[in-house]
Amino acid sequence: RKQRKKQQNKDAALRYRMKKKEESSTISTECEQLEERNRELKDKVDTMTREINYLKSLMAEV
């Protein structure tokens, strides 16, 4: 009886660790995706800022 309880606890601990590892992996993947999206958006902001400055300079010449 005690052995069975010990095995159940061991199995539960293993399941818990596996679940936590899976959650950590999911969060890590999501973080990488968000960082990539952030880089893309920053590049877009830079491009649009340059375009705005270029258009302002064209208007200043008129």
Give the tens place of pLDDT for each residue, 19-33: 999 999 999 999 999
Q: Where are the domains of the chain?
A: 1-62
HEC string for 1-62 = CHHHHHHHHHHHHHHHHHHHHHHHHHHHHHHHHHHHHHHHHHHHHHHHHHHHHHHHHHHHHC
pLDDT confidence of residue 61: 87
pLDDT confidence of residue 53: 98
